[in-house]
């Protein structure tokens, strides 16, 4: 490094590692591959992996060209272990920054603390190896081993976990801390935007043009074979997660209703569980996404699925544009058939000639001659004369049963393709 300033970061000791792998990111795995390809004695690395897994690596210091940590052996002896990695020169960093500033995708990735494969590949094409190769990780340890020992191996395995969390650890090892790198990258990007993509000053918005270029489609397609495999789908938990309790000694802020927040959190957990269960169902990717609910529909859904108390139910009724009795009717409809049932409950519509002919044919064919009840039709609502029963014809061509209670029509069951089946239950009880 030039000058007296040498950046350094220290990471607290990590707890014992769970599971089999030490690295989940592709750059963490590339780090371990360089380690395992370098070491001459695989048994030493296995011993180091055990030490790291048991949480015997202390705080890790990262600075340009060097990693340092104290590793406690299984006999409780402490060893100072270092791993060295060649820094990039100032000229190398200049080429890297020029390359990265030319593509908005690289800038966005670094700002998101990511190191995508195409950034590393483009750096390699410019003659810069960000990731270590065979023999690049040089060990030094107070145990005086001449090759990678269990202590330097444990340090490297621990650093793979750090790289999963923050790829800037690798860039710091190569000679640039995060703040300086991003500042220099933004300076180059701003200068390039002023000059234009060909290096000439432009008054026609080169910054917008540069931002719009992104990653070329052929480059993204060419990288498909080298991208890391997607992780396996997450397993379905046994049940939805528990929502947090907001009943604390601290008073809520103005306008905050803790009980309403707890209700929404519990609903979110149930919905997330349902969505995950559906996503893990074979063939789910072939199904079209469900239409988004309107705020009024979602208020009814919350009341139907969450079973709120009276105070929250009143608030949901207001959000749904209904009074208590109207919300109760809407909730009953929702429980029988979701958005489709709610639409039938709310809408009056006049079937077109084809829909009307199909409805009349279904009515005529549902009963033997002379046994069909007498209907009084009003748009899509067919009321049985002389009874408190009604059929409503949905836009999807199914029949929904309704009954009259205290002077208002309320849903009485799920939809049926056959009008006689839909009406059977309500006529027997009317």
CA distance 333 to 412: 8
Structure tokens that stand for 144 in this block: 């005086």
CA distance 240 to 365: 46
| pLDDT for the residue numbered 22 | 76
- The residues, any chain, with a CB within 8 Å of residue 252's CB and separated by 6 or more, are 246, 258
CA distance 266 to 339: 21
- Beta bridge pairs of residue 83: 67, 139
| pLDDT for the residue numbered 332 | 95
What contacts 24+ positions apart, CB below 8 Å, involve 267-275? 267/302, 267/305, 267/306, 268/243, 269/240, 269/241, 269/242, 269/243, 270/240, 270/305, 272/240, 272/241, 273/236, 273/237, 273/239, 273/240, 273/241
| pLDDT for the residue numbered 4 | 46
| pLDDT for the residue numbered 141 | 94
Structure tokens that stand for 371 in this block: 């046994």
| pLDDT for the residue numbered 288 | 87
Torsion of CA 214, 216, 220, 221, to 10 degrees: 150
| Residues lower than pLDDT 50 in the chain | 1-4, 201-212
| pLDDT for the residue numbered 1 | 40
Cβ distance 410 to 330 under 8 Å? no
| pLDDT for the residue numbered 344 | 94
- How many helical (H) and strand (E) elements, i.e. helices and strands, does the chain have? 16, 10
Unique residue bearing structure tokens 């064919």: 365
Burial class (CB in 10 A: 0-12, 13-18, 19+), 61: middle
């Amino acid at each position: 490094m030039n000058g007296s300033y040498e950046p350094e970061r220290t990471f607290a000791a990590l707890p014992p590692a769970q599971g089999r792998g030490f690295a989940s990111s592709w750059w963490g795995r590339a780090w371990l591959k360089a380690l395992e390809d370098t070491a001459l004695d695989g048994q030493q690395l296995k011993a180091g992996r055990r030490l790291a897994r048991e949480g015997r690596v202390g705080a890790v210091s990262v600075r340009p060209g060097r990693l340092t940590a104290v590793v406690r052996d299984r006999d409780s002896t402490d060893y100072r272990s270092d791993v060295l990695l060649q820094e990039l020169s100032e000229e190398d960093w200049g080429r890297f920054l020029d390359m990265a500033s030319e593509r908005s995708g690289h800038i966005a990735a670094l700002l998101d603390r990511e190191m995508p494969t195409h950034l590393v590949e483009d750096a390699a094409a410019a003659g810069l190896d960000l990731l270590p190769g065979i023999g690049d990780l040089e060990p030094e340890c107070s145990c005086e081993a001449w090759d990678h020992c269990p202590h330097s191996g444990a340090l490297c395995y621990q650093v793979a976990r750090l790289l999963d969390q923050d790829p800037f650890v690798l860039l710091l090892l190569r000679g640039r801390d995060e703040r300086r790198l991003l500042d220099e990258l933004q300076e180059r990007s701003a200068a390039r935007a002023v000059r234009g993509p060909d290096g000439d000053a432009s008054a026609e918005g080169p910054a917008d043009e540069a931002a719009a270029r992104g990653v070329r489609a052929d480059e993204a397609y060419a990288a498909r074979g080298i991208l890391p495999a997607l992780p396996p789908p997450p397993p379905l938990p046994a049940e939805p997660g528990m929502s947090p309790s907001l009943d604390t000694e601290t008073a809520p802020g103005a306008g905050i209703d803790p009980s309403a927040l707890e209700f929404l959190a519990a609903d979110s957990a149930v919905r997330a569980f349902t969505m995950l269960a559906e996503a893990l169902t074979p063939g789910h990717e072939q199904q079209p996404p469900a239409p988004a609910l309107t705020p009024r529909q979602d208020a009814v859904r919350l009341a139907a699925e969450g079973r709120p108390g009276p105070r929250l139910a009143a608030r949901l009724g207001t959000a749904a544009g209904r009074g208590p009795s109207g919300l109760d009717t809407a909730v009953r409809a929702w429980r029988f058939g979701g958005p489709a049932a709610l639409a039938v409950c709310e809408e009056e519509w006049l079937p077109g000639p084809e829909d009307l002919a199909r409805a009349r044919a279904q009515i005529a064919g549902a009963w033997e001659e002379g046994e069909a009840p007498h209907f009084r039709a009003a748009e899509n609502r067919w009321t049985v004369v002389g009874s408190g029963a009604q059929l409503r014809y949905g836009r999807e061509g199914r029949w929904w049963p309704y009954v009259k209670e205290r002077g208002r029509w309320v849903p009485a069951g799920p939809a049926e393709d056959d009008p006689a089946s839909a009406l059977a239950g309500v006529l027997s009880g009317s």
